[in-house]
A and B are shown apart, each in its own frame.
Chain A
């Protein structure tokens, strides 16, 4: 008796709630994308560039599509798995070049994104990938570093293995093998983790060069030389054209003109065939392979409209991102080509 009453009360509550739920789903936008959308990103940090950039784009997209969208910083492997499981389009992913670099470097948990997923539009570039030396380092520029390696000196570079942080190192190694064949082993990777760890390697004298970024290390480059923590940029991997688009004030107290001194053609790391190596960290969407192509279309169109308005570019530039919208097809072809070029470098130095 009591139980049946309990169940009926409970049942009716559930019924009411689910009616409400049904109603709210039905009232969602009329495109192929419907319901609540979760955008997973390949980073676990909500303070990092991937999260920041994704939330700028997703906020605008949610507004435009009139949908509930939310960025979740679940990390690369978890994000790929979430994407694998959902072909309805309720799960989307935003990540950067790490997604295929991880595969090229053979990191566990990464597959060939061009086979396993649909590559969506690119949205922005983080132009900040940089290499630094201590302020009192004997190496004034990249040429000094290369020559030192060529002369048999051991140069240690602190990087995070298996991706964006390593690609510049691989390029340096490749350049050594072209310019000073046989001396590659003098360029040594110090495998370490976060930016804090890389800086620490420099302070400890365990590394001669470190990978870093304009955003995270700019203040260190402005410290007086007698400060143990003082550093100097020697190389920004971005294309000249990318930094050209940065705000004139640059980052902190380092303006665009100063930043341009550290990109090609002022600093060159050769790729052979008189071509210089460059690397722009680009953010793009990844979709489940079986997702409705109409959704791809819908997001492309929405982004195109958003970028046409021009407001998002301002927000991105304020946060030191370079706006870089390419619709899905163009983006996929472009990124595939990019991957092939880096694949050559990585194979060359193995």
Chain B
């Protein structure tokens, strides 16, 4: 218990400050947890390892949680992993339940964060050994499983899959990156585009372009009518929040937290896959998922508990293999190297004090996040009362900062905002679906790497079925996921006997 002497007031203040700043970063569209950690990294040199880690872990937890705010209130995912939060959060906000939605999210986040912290604390080395059983084959199958969400998420399966494949296509533009073991050659572009598109489109600008800028374009087209962002939203009115929302949702909460932790610990699968996967599973496994995507709290629970569970999960490979589990922990590694501390399989046994300190900071930051958010929500939710002619220019401006800063200052990322803003507008206008497209984009490039690399090493497609028992289990999950979505579609079709003539997809009604 020697580490207790390392915990002073400053330690807790820094963790709390980190959570606060993180929440603010996460809540601003375009700013992410990764960015928050990156900009504060130099500060940690002066703070020393333990205090530095308190600050950074606070930022990490806060940043991931903060992403829920714009996702629910503005339909813009504040961080890539809160994309599935928009599916149910924004419809709830439109029904006047913004505050309720956020409270559900905060509680789910806390539970997710704590469950993953416990898992990290108790099982990190064992899980690290398990995670290295996932080679290219199994990682491809995980991505594939997450992609099956497209089938159940889309309002029309054919159009949804088509949109998803377009998303995958867009993610392939650029080089087949050397840092993924590719040959570094460009494809899917003309020569004159090469200076700009060499590295392809970055995720964050694409995301905020397609959600943020295109929403503004759709509003502009309608003349930015109402002064308020959404006059229908009555804060505090509508269905109030009570803990009964969570009744019967315990399985969902726990399952999603474990999915988040698990996906977080697989290096290279990507944080956004966690919430997507949790959302898919809730959709497939719950008895009453027909309301999901239209404003069901269960969707929020799945999404937010999974993305906060990511924090503990992503720390597992970092601390027991020396390998970051997601983009934020990749930056976090810098804090260790700056202090000359090695992370690797012997980190925990050799730095027991630091290990306990980190666990304390992680758990504490989760509670601080909870209290800050839970009691501030009433005020945060008022953002939507700001008149649009004030709010929209600020959103555009912050999106610009986020896009420019995400890769440390690349102007093309800012233009990506506009390109995908216009694309997102067109996509919605011609009746394609945004959510599948963006999921295809997020998962597309890792699907490629794992698929091609598997075939390069094994030279046969049969390896996807025969590699390991894990692969077989994943195939069963994939088949189940597809089967569920087909069955559900047939069921809802039978219920909706009044068949609508081949109308275009009912476009998502944007406020």
Contact = CB atoms under 8 A, between A and B. Distances in A.
Interface residues of A, number: 52
A25 interface: no
Contact of B346 (A52, A107, A206, A219): A219
B403 interface: no
Contact of A47 (B321, B337, B409, B410): B337
Contact of A196 (B198, B323, B331, B456): B323
Interface stretch (A134-142, A155-163, A304-312, A338-346): A155-163
B267 interface: yes
B322 interface: yes
Interface string B407-422: 1111000000000000
B469 interface: no
A81 B185 contact: no
Contacts of B449: 193
Contact of B342 (A72, A74, A252): A252
A267 B417 CA distance: 53
Interface string B138-161: 000000000000000000000000
Interface in B116-164: 129, 132, 135-136
Interface stretch (B174-182, B220-228, B254-262, B394-402): B174-182
B456 A200 contact: no
Contacts of A251: 342
A73 B334 CA distance: 12
A74 B409 contact: yes
B38 to A, nearest CB: 6
Given A108-B175, A194-B179, A45 B330 contact: yes
Given A161-B181, A162-B178, A252-B342, A77 B198 contact: yes
A280 to B, nearest CB: 20
Nearest to B349: A219
B323 A218 contact: no
B347 A219 contact: yes
Nearest to B405: A72
A2 to B, nearest CB: 15
Interface string A204-231: 1010000000011111101100011100
A268 interface: no
Given A47-B333, A81-B195, A162 B268 contact: no
B270 to A, nearest CB: 13
Nearest to B198: A77
B198 A47 contact: no
Interface residues of B, number: 49
Nearest to B179: A193
Contact of B331 (A47, A108, A215): A47
A222 B346 contact: yes
A77 B198 CA distance: 8
A88 to B, nearest CB: 16
Contacts of B338: 52, 319
Contacts of A204: 135
A24 B272 CA distance: 43
Contacts of B345: 219-220, 223, 227, 229
A193 B181 contact: yes
B344 interface: yes
Interface in A48-76: 51-52, 55, 72-75
A107 B184 contact: yes
Contacts of B199: 75, 77-78
Given A44-B407, A204-B135, A196 B267 contact: yes
Contacts of B135: 200, 203-204, 206
Interface string A317-331: 011100000000000
Contacts of B177: 193
B249 interface: no
Given A45-B330, A160-B178, A191-B181, A219 B344 contact: yes
A347 B400 CA distance: 46
A38 B409 contact: yes
Contacts of A186: none
Contacts of B180: 193-194, 197
Q: Which 4 residue pairs across A and B have the least CB separation, nearest first?
A: A219-B344, A47-B333, A47-B334, A192-B181
19 contacts: A44-B179, A44-B407, A52-B338, A55-B42, A72-B408, A74-B409, A74-B410, A75-B199, A161-B184, A162-B184, A191-B182, A194-B268, A195-B323, A197-B180, A199-B132, A219-B346, A318-B340, A319-B337, A319-B338
